[in-house]
Amino acid sequence: MSLEALFHLFNGLPRQGPGQDASTREALHRLPRQPEAPRVLDLGCGTGKQTLVLAQELKVPILAVDSHAPFLSQLEAEAGYEVLDTFLLPPSA
């Protein structure tokens, strides 16, 4: 399946994979003790549902990376007060 077909398939969905806010929080709390101000990179963030949860829980900037600009645009529009940095990674040929 091509990347364009995948982008079309996931367009308009709230998440691009399984999970929910509660499972993101649970996974975060299972990690070993984190530094006071961790640096967080979310690769393949999609529309960033988990990115927003991480930003809310950790209260630190998140670098969100995806290869589909519309997903990043949606994340930026929904981010509100959360401090996020986004980066578009071009898909490989």
- Pairing outcome for strands 84-88 and 40-43: unpaired
**pLDDT for res 92:** 62
Query: How is the chain split into domains, by residue range?
Result: 40-93
d(CA 4, CA 72): 15
**What SS3 class is residue 81?**
coil
Q: What percent of the chain has pLDDT over 90?
A: 29
The 10s digit of each residue's pLDDT in 17-57 is 778 999 999 999 999 988 888 889 999 898 899 999 999 99
pLDDT number for residue 83: 59
Cα gap 70→36, rounded to integer Å: 32
Question: Rounded distance, CA 68 to CA 64, Å?
Answer: 12
Question: Taking the model in full, what pTM does it have?
Answer: 0.76
